[in-house]
Structure formats: C-alpha cells, structure tokens
Chain A
Amino acid sequence: MESGTIVEFVGVQKTYDGHTVVIQNLDLSVRQGEFLTLLGGSGSGKTTTLMMLAGFETPTRGHILVKGKPIEHLPPHRRGIGVVFQNYALFPHMTVAQNLAYPLRMRRKSRVETQMKVDKAIEMVRLQGMQHRRPAELSGGQQQRVALARALVFEPDLVLMDEPLGALDKTLREHMQYEIKQIHRDLGVTMVYVTHDQSEALAMSDRIAIFQAGAVAQIASPQELYEQPASVFVAGFIGENNILSGKSAGRDESGRGVVLLDCGQSVRMQASAGFADAGKPLKLAVRPENLVIGTPARDRLNQCSGKIADTTYLGDHLRALVDIGMGQTMVVRKPLQDFARPPAIGEDILIGWNDGDGHVFA
C-alpha cells in the first residue's frame, strides 16, 4: 500500500442477485486529503462503490481497506465515516442543533463539548440563528448545509457524498460546489463524491474516477481526463466531443496515423505506438473548440468539407452542426465575433484542425 492512501479497494466485486455483476474487479485507491469524484452514468456502479465504503453494502468478493485495515465486515456505525445522502436524510423530528448533536450524542461526548462542536459546525456552514428550526422549515440549500455539517461535526477523516447537490437548482448548486470545495480545503478532510454531472466533477475534484459498467474507465485529474482521455468512452463522457468512426489507413511519411473517415474523407493524426494496422476500425475524437471553420481552416493540416446542418445561437458563442457526408456530423463551437456573418444553413463550409488536436482510439 502506498503511503498517503486512506482507502483502498482491492479486487472488489459486487453482485446483488448472483448473476448481474454491478462492480467487477474494482481496484481503486483514495489518497489522504484529496477530493475524489466517482463519475458515471446511472447503473455504472459509482453509488454502489460509495455504499460499500459506507458499509451499507457488502462486497461479494475482495477487500476494502481503510488506513490499511480491512473494513468490509465492520458495521456502518463503527466505521466513523461521514456520509451526506442524496436527499440529505435529516431527521425531521429533530431541530438543526439536535441533528448536528446526534453523532456526538452517539459517541457519548460531554454536553459542553457537544455544544461547542455544534456551534462550530453551524458557524462553518453559516446557519447561525437556525439552530432551533426543523429541517422542514429550511430551504433546500440550508438543508444541504445541515447535512454537510452533520457529516463533518464528529470530525471524521473521510466524508462520502452521494449526489448531494442533485436536488438544488443550477445557481445554488454552483454556489454549494464552491462552499464544499472551501470546506474541503479548510479542513483537509478526504472527500469521496459521487455525481453524474461531469461539469460538477470537473469543477470540484482533485481526481475523477470515471465509472463505466462497474469498472473504472480512467482515474486522473480533471485536466488529464479532458486532455488525455484513455478511451473513446472517457473522451465522449467528459465535455463535448466529436467522435467520428473510420478505418486506419496506415502511417504517412512523417509517422502520423492516417484515418479514413466513414464519410470518405481522410485525415492525419498524431497517433500512439499502438496505432492499428491498415483496415482496422478506429474512432477519432476532436473537441469542438479545437475546430476552425471557413478561411482559417485552409491553414490546418486536416480539412473536412461539409454543409451547415443547423446553427444554435448561445449568446456568447455559436454552435454549428456540420454534415460532413454519409450521415457523419461534427459540432463546431466558436465565439460570435469570429464570424464575419453567421453561417447559413445549407452553406458549404470547410472544417479544419491540426494533427495534434484530437485523439485516435482503436
């Protein structure tokens, strides 16, 4: 076990019914003090992973180590892990202060210590004056903060959050992302965060583990995930991407991989050593923001011609859907001032990008 690791999943497998595997052979380590996000679609196994760590699910096979000790047979109440639930799970018959005092009461802390820690937690989430309200009398954002404070008030080393911001509206969600991040930085506590919202994951995380069908597709920093996706799935999952299918046409004289797209046009890309033999099917991923259209495209190494199929005005930029033939389309995103005049639907247009602007996957 590497030092600085707080949680380690070793060969963990989980099945609920004996034939559908929800988690297949998961190896994952969480570093001390980091903000790790488990990101994935529904049914990808991210919540099951979190619940196994919290103790509400038991792995069918494998071990979960916390600080080097296996905990898979420890009941949840003896794990000392803070959990923030998707719907907060605040006890409706208790006031805010009673909710916050609950974990301390269960640990038989003295009255003075409890009072002190509750006050501190309330101050941390800025809910002064709300101590004696019941959860039903609080707004969604305030409930969220109480849930957060309750998971932190007993000073756990590890806090798990299961889509905690899912029920909030967009503005509040962004604000809470910032606050959670702030608390994470101030307390230095390790946080494992589950979400299906990739922009949330990008904004908050030190590292993101992308879950795909019960396994981790890639675990890396947001920047690495965005810029160096390990698979087509990751490339398509994080941010908007143009995924084009084609065939390998070998390498050109400078060692670039040549890809013959399904639309019949061919492009040259910097390709890894494992670039497939000629004729093998490939996927190509290019980000919309790396594409140029119109005259500037002539300066680029790769050029694709197509017709504008649709445009969407988005205020600060324009999003254009370009049909490059044989049913293949590409999305281009450009600031409005880049256009002398907005492109018209049906207009012929040239799309260009350089050989380093995208990724090729076998």
Chain B
Amino acid sequence: MTLTVQDSAETRKLRHAWGRAGKRRRTISLLLVAPLFVYVLLTFMLPIGMMLYNAVENVELMRAVPETTVALGQWKPENPDELPPDIVFTTFLHEISAAPRNLVGEAARRLNYEVSGYRTLLTSTVRKLRTMSENLSEEGAARRFMAGIDTRWEEPAYWHAMKRASSTYTPYYMLAAVDLGIDDAGQVVQAPEEQRTYIDILLRTLKTAAIVTAVCVVLGYPLANLMVVASRPFSIALIIAVMLPFWTSLLARTSAWIVLLQREGLVNSLLGYLGLIREPLELIFNTTGLYIVMIHMMLPFMVLPLYSAMKGIPPHFMKASASLGAHPVRGFLNVYLPMTLPGVGAGVLLTFIVTAGYYITPSLVASARDQMLGYFIAFFANTTINWGMASALGIILLACTVAVYFLAARTVGVRQLAGLK
C-alpha cells in the first residue's frame, strides 16, 4: 500500500523535494542537448531562415535610391498609363547620379527582372548623366531631360516596374515561381505564355519523384521480404548488397552508371555482342538514364524501412491467417500487406522527398529537358546570383515536401512513419 503523507507542511516539503529532484534531472538532460541545439540553430535553422527571407526581400532599389523609393511609395497611380509626379523624376536623377556603381548595378539587375531591357536602360542613362542640366527644379524639366537621354523614360511601364521594385517586401519571386506576375495595374496575372516554365518544372519534378517512388516500391517490396525470410547468411549478403550504395560516394556511383550506360558503354557493348541490338541504345543523358540511375540511388531508402517493418511482423500472423482458411495470396492482401503499410508509407515518403530534391545525379545523367527543381535552384543560386528566385523555388519545393509529409502522416500516422510503433 502507498504511504500518503497527511500533514500539509510535510506534504509541501515532500512535493518540493520531488519537484527539485525532477527539475535537476530535466536541467541536466537539457544541458546535454544544448550543444546540439545551438549547432542546429546556427548552422541549419538560421541559414535556412535567411535563405527563405531572400524570397521576399527587396532592398536593391532602397539601397541605391532611397529617396526615390519613398517618393514612389507616395505615388498612387489611378491608371496604368499615368506617369509619376515630377518629384519622382527629380529625386531619381539626383540620387542615381550620386549612387555608387555597385548599388546601381544591383538595382539595374533587380529592375531587369521586372522588365527586360531595364538593365541597359538604367546603365546607359547613368553613363550619360555626366552632362547634367542645371535647371531641373522647373516643372517637367527633369522628365524632359530624362526623355532626352532615352525616350523609354516617358513610358509609364518602366516607372510602374520601378514602383513595384521599391517596396520593402516583394511578392515578385514567389509569384514568378508559380508562373504569376503583377501587371502595371497592380493585379496578379499569369505570366506571358512563353515565360511560363516553373509550373512545368514543378510538375515534372513531382512526376519524376512519383515514378521513381512507385518503381522503388514494386522492386523493393519483394526484395525486403526476401531479406526477412531468407536464411541468415543469404539475408546478410542481401543487406550488404542493399547498403553498399550507401557506403559508396554519390559521384562515384553516378559516374559508374555513366560508364555503364553510355553509347559505347558496357551495356550497349554487351547487347551488341549478343546481337540483340544493331544500333546502340540511348540509355543515358535522357529520361531513361535519369530513371535508371535515380531508382538505383533511391532503392535503399525504400528497402530499409520496408525491411524494418517486415522484420517486426512475426510469422504467426500469416500462420493464423492460413489456419483460418485464407489462401496465402488472400492472407498476404488482407493481413501482411496492411501490416507492412507503415513501412511502405515511410519508404514512399523518404524516397519521394529525397528524389524531389535531388540535384547532382539528375544534373549529370539527364538531359536539359529532364532537369528538376533542384537544378534550377542551383542555377539561380550559382549562375545568375538571383537569390530571390532560388529562395522562392526552394520554398515551393519545401512546401511540396511538407504537404507530402502531412498527407503521409494523416494516412499512416507519424509514429508509424518514424518506425516507433
């Protein structure tokens, strides 16, 4: 029987001691995790947060011509054909002629995203500003002066674009990442048809991930099952065979596939030698190559969760099913398959998410038409230094991943996905 302390002072003391003991234990546990927490915060959470922030950040013009952005902010155009008031022209002329070259360059690049050709317009204007007219305070003088440099300065579209680029935050990158844009009237509209690419790329990415995942399930399920039912030495050999790709460098594996699958590669040579083909098959640097290599890369991600799920199902369930009169096939469909579903869910989730974000392998073995989102993120981040677009596409990919995760968590359950149950 439990001893209950009746006296209230005694009870308080007891509770106090109990709380102190628990607190001490919790504090120690937290302190032990603290280094990891700080590490994750500084090297993972913070950079990702900053990266995502890039997708809405809009500081190029504010840095180069701060007063102009304020003036543009006060301009409330009634219709798309309206030019900004004189104060905007005057301020802009003063600021742009005094702005440092590197800031002007950044601003020009930012404006060029809005209207192509803006970069040359701005840089050539800045070049010609050396002979600045003295009397700009007069009504319309600044505007006439700029139109004198380039007539495009009298087109409202360029000023609307500049206004869009001068707010603190911009939806531009996020909209562009889903083939949308803002027109001069401030409405969200679809991008011109020839510029709509990202939705296609996103769909292609999801389709590739879905096909790779599906093939991995079909190939991986029997393999995982064999690993569970096979005799011990054979099962160990299979596990090593599955794990081996994990222990090999990604680049080495990809290169090996290129060696195997290229026109003069081993596979084509063998097929030619056997007389099965007359012309070498195009097995790499196209969609076929992408699938062949990606499926090989992803198979362990599918097989290992499946294996662990199947390992946890004792054989007596199938025996019970048989004893109750179920043919092995019906037993499999009614008992075994539903019991392995958490493993299938975990494998599908892992494979799909990893495939959707894969970059190196597709960029090496696929054609330009097969490239996935990861490739374009890298393209914007490394080649054109368009951090905004890179971040926006990253957010789209992250959103898709999170959506797939929640879908899986809803249908299979988080604990099951993590293999905790």
Contact = CB atoms under 8 A, between A and B. Distances in A.
Interface of A: 54-56, 75-83, 85-87, 89-93, 102-103, 106-107, 150-151, 154
Nearest to A103: B324
Nearest to B334: A102
Contacts of B317: 89, 91
Contacts of B330: 106
A56 B326 contact: no
Nearest to A92: B339
A118 B21 CA distance: 53
6 contacts: A82-B323, A85-B320, A89-B314, A91-B317, A91-B321, A102-B334
Interface in B149-172: none
A54 B314 contact: no
B335 to A, nearest CB: 6
A82 B324 CA distance: 7
Interface in B286-322: 314, 316-317, 319-322
Given A77-B324, A77-B328, A151-B323, 4 more contacts: A55-B322, A89-B314, A91-B335, A91-B339
B322 A76 contact: yes
Contacts of A86: 316
8 closest pairs, A vs B, by CB?
A89-B320, A103-B324, A83-B323, A76-B322, A106-B325, A89-B316, A77-B322, A106-B326
Contact of B327 (A77, A93, A102): A77
B338 interface: yes
B328 A93 contact: no
Contacts of A93: 338-339
Contacts of B334: 102
B323 A106 contact: no
Contacts of B321: 77, 91, 102
A92 B341 CA distance: 12
Give the residue among A80, A93, A107 with the most B Cβ atoms within 10 A. Answer: A93
Given A85-B316, A87-B316, A93-B339, A107 B325 contact: yes
B319 A83 contact: yes
Nearest to A83: B323
Nearest to A102: B324
A77 B325 contact: yes
Contacts of B316: 85-87, 89
B4 to A, nearest CB: 27
A51 to B, nearest CB: 8
Contacts of B335: 91
A103 B321 CA distance: 8
A180 to B, nearest CB: 17
A217 to B, nearest CB: 28
Given A83-B319, A85-B316, A77 B339 contact: no
B339 A106 contact: no
Contacts of A89: 314, 316-317, 319-320
Nearest to A86: B316
A87 to B, nearest CB: 6
Nearest to A153: B324
